[in-house]
């Protein structure tokens, strides 16, 4: 049986080598695992190797050994045959397209070819484990392990068991991600979109409303967020923030004071925008003004996330500390 510590995870199979898969690949390599990437695209090797090299400096900043990321030491291999790719995996992290039928087929196949005690996790951002595992003989083996972009850097992994997932599998996943230096959160109840994306969708809907109404531009709204609520939410979540907003009486006092205005005015007045053609055109036009290419902006963000985590004492533990 696998133990929960990283030493018992030596080989990972990463199924799907897109942005998320490549980021997992880099992290697993940085944590000392062998990684086999499976992806049907013929040019997958050059894409993933380039992606892995590009994040090596960031992982080095986080204290990881990155020699295996920048040169071909043999720890990273590519395998076009799915069965072979997972045959000796201790953990399979699947990052296929968000299409139910496809994920169901993938997992039915993975289950047949992988070792009987390998840990199975899907990066699915919305499809729940119950549905994804439907064609598996042993659906109790699958759990959602949903990361946030960029997965090698943002700490959270939502671990979401399905209706039939063995609780021990969810616990193993939590321990595995913790050993990878992540901050896993077990989500007790399966709900579409899980937790963080639902919260993000709610805020984004109102953000789209404010842009479509001409109240502010995208850049102005972003600046509002980074200099107020985003800044606070990096440190204290929405409940603690309102707990502190209630004075000595905390959240109960806050709710006593604002309950009526939230329920009668604040919430009902939120917008319900459409993503119709004119709105998408407006949003896309304003997106031309972020002041850099996506690559430049991403590099700036990643460097800032590292600085922020260091300042808050939240850099991931080193491999030996996490055992």
Which residues from 106-135 bind its own copies, rule CB under 8 A? 126
Q: How many CB atoms lie within 10 A of CB 81?
A: 10
Q: How many CB atoms lie within 10 A of CB 293?
A: 9
**Closest distance between its own copies and the C-beta of residue 113, in Å?**
30
Nearer to its own copies, 77 or 271 (CB): 271
Among 137, 278, 301, 317, binds its own copies (CB under 8 A): 301
Nearer to its own copies, 84 or 149 (CB): 149
Burial of 25 (0-12, 13-18, 19+ CB in 10 A): buried
Nearer to its own copies, 67 or 303 (CB): 303
The stretch among 8-16, 64-72, 162-170, 215-223 that binds its own copies (CB under 8 A) is 215-223
Q: How many CB atoms lie within 10 A of CB 263?
A: 10
Which residues from 57-76 bind its own copies, rule CB under 8 A? none
**Closest distance between its own copies and the C-beta of residue 315, in Å?**
12
Q: Which of 183, 225, 218, 219 lies closest to 200, judged by CA?
A: 225
* Contact call for residue 148 and its own copies (CB under 8 A): yes
Point out which residues pair with 13 in neighbouring strands. 36, 92
Q: How many CB atoms lie within 10 A of CB 50?
A: 10
The stretch among 33-41, 56-64, 166-174, 310-318 that binds its own copies (CB under 8 A) is 310-318
* Contact call for residue 43 and its own copies (CB under 8 A): no
The stretch among 30-38, 54-62, 83-91, 179-187 that binds its own copies (CB under 8 A) is 179-187
CA distance linking residue 132 with residue 130, whole number of Å: 6
Which residues from 239-278 bind its own copies, rule CB under 8 A? 239-240, 242-252, 255, 259, 261-263, 265-267, 269-270, 272, 274-275
Among 46, 138, 149, 323, binds its own copies (CB under 8 A): 149
Do residues 47 and 22 make contact, with C-beta atoms less than 8 angstroms apart?
yes
* Contact call for residue 191 and its own copies (CB under 8 A): yes
Q: What is the SS3 assignment for 28-91?
A: HHHCCCEEEEECCCCCHHHHHHHHHHHHHHHHHHCCCCCHHHHCCCCCEEECCCHHHHHCCCCE
* Contact call for residue 227 and its own copies (CB under 8 A): yes
**Closest distance between its own copies and the C-beta of residue 217, in Å?**
9
* Contact call for residue 236 and its own copies (CB under 8 A): yes
* Contact call for residue 166 and its own copies (CB under 8 A): no
- Total count of residues recorded for the chain: 323
Nearer to its own copies, 87 or 216 (CB): 216
Q: What is the DSSP letter of 315?
A: P
Q: Which of 1, 3, 6 lies closest to 323, judged by CA?
A: 6
**Closest distance between its own copies and the C-beta of residue 208, in Å?**
9
Q: What is the DSSP letter of 317?
A: P
Among 47, 131, 206, 315, binds its own copies (CB under 8 A): 206
Size of the site for its own copies (CB under 8 A): 102
């Amino acid at each position: 049986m696998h133990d929960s510590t990283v030493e018992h995870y030596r080989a990972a199979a990463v199924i799907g080598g897109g942005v998320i898969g490549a980021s997992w690949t880099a992290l697993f390599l940085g944590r000392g695992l062998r990684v086999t990437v499976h992806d049907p695209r013929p040019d997958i090797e050059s894409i993933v190797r380039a992606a892995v090299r590009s994040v090596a400096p960031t992982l080095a900043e986080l204290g990881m050994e990155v020699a295996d990321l920048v040169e071909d030491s043999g720890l990273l291999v590519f395998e076009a045959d799915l069965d072979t790719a997972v045959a000796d995996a201790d953990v399979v992290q699947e990052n296929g397209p968000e299409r139910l039928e496809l994920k169901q087929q993938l997992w039915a196949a993975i289950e047949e070819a992988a070792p009987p005690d390998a840990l199975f996790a899907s990066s699915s951002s919305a499809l729940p484990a119950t549905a994804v595992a439907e064609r598996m003989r042993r659906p109790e083996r699958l759990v959602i392990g949903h990361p946030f972009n960029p997965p090698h850097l943002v700490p959270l992994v939502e671990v979401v068991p399905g209706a039939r997932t063995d609780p021990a599998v969810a616990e193993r996943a939590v321990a595995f991600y913790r050993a990878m230096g992540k901050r896993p959160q077990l989500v007790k109840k399966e709900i579409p979109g899980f937790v963080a994306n639902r919260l993000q969708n709610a805020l984004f809907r109102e953000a789209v409303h404010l842009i479509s109404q001409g109240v502010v531009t995208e850049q102005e709204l972003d600046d509002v967020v980074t200099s107020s609520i985003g800044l606070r939410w990096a440190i204290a979540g929405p409940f603690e923030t309102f707990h502190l907003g209630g004075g000595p009486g905390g959240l109960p006092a806050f709710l006593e004071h604002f309950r009526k205005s939230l329920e009668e005015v604040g919430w009902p007045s939120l917008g319900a925008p459409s993503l119709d053609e004119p709105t998408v055109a407006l949003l896309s036009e304003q997106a031309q003004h972020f002041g850099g290419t996506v690559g430049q902006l991403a590099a700036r963000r990643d460097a800032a996330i590292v600085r922020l985590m260091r300042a808050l004492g939240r850099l991931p533990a080193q491999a030996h500390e996490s055992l």
